[in-house]
Amino acid sequence: MHPTQILSLEHQSLRRFLDSFERMIETIARTRSVAPEDMDRALLFLEEYGDRFHHSREDVLFERLRRVGEGRGERPVAALCREHARGRELLRCMRDHVQGAAEGSSASARALVHIGLAFIEHERQHARTEDQILFPLIDELLSDEQQAAVAAEFEHLEQNLAPRTARDLLDLADDLGQRYGPGASTPDSTDVESR
Ligand SMILES: [Fe+2]
């Protein structure tokens, strides 16, 4: 499987989770209160699976594109890397407000809702840009051998999550999804890769 197909599958998992996360945020907006354990687990999934695992894989692919793309990937990759940093910053801001919201601060709950909705919109748009613009460009510019070399590098990056695995984190996302909806099970690119 090409790295772009693997990453697109991961986008499906992330999109599905963002739908559930949106329900969580809507619940906070409606009730002005937060379930801190659920929010902690949701942010853990986004930080570990979304950023540490998925984005680190994308960084490897982007770096390869920079080396072989003769400048064609420079601008979109620079823009997408800035978007990764922006997503990370929004996650940090949400973290900052969880405790206050859990202790009953309505200002923190409002901030959590505001930042959470901005994050969801940002991540949906970001994944769309990668799927529709960057990944087709990568498939055009990278040979099968170059793509295979990137896919081999992907194998090692899951170690960054130790002692967790990507599957552990997807299970956590599934559990939240089943309680908040839509709740469908998430595909796991690591399962597909090993088939
Ligand atoms: Fe990305």
Question: Which domains can be identified in the chain, with CATH numbers?
Answer: 3-183 (1.20.120.520)
Q: How would residue 194 be classed by pLDDT, with cut points 50, 70 and 90? A: very low
The residue assigned the tokens 């409606």 is 30
pLDDT at 75 over 90: no
Burial class (CB in 10 A: 0-12, 13-18, 19+), 71: exposed
* Number of neighbours of residue 11 by Cβ within 10 angstroms: 20
* Number of neighbours of residue 132 by Cβ within 10 angstroms: 9
Share of the chain above pLDDT 70, in %: 93
How far is ligand 1, taken at its centre, from the CA of residue 165, in Å? 20
pLDDT at 185 over 80: no
Give the per-residue pLDDT at 188: 52
How far is ligand 1, taken at its centre, from the CA of residue 103, in Å? 34
Question: Mind listing the pLDDT tens digit for each residue in 96-113?
Answer: 999 999 999 999 999 999
How far is ligand 1, taken at its centre, from the CA of residue 59, in Å? 8
Give the per-residue pLDDT at 41: 96
Question: Mind listing the pLDDT tens digit for each residue in 112-167?
Answer: 999 999 999 999 999 999 999 999 999 999 999 999 999 999 988 888 888 899 99
CA separation (Å) from 7 to 43, 104, 141, 147? 20, 39, 17, 12
The pTM assigned to this predicted structure is 0.90
DSSP category for residue 160: G
Give the span between the Cα atoms of 159 and 28, in whole angstroms: 34
Give the per-residue pLDDT at 74: 86
How far is ligand 1, taken at its centre, from the CA of residue 140, in Å? 18
Tokens of 175: 């559990």
Q: Which of 112, 111, 115 is nearest to 90 (CA)?
A: 115
How far is ligand 1, taken at its centre, from the CA of residue 58, in Å? 6
How far is ligand 1, taken at its centre, from the CA of residue 106, in Å? 32
Mean pLDDT of 74-100: 94
How far is ligand 1, taken at its centre, from the CA of residue 132, in Å? 12
96: left (phi over 0), alpha (psi -120 to 50) or beta: alpha
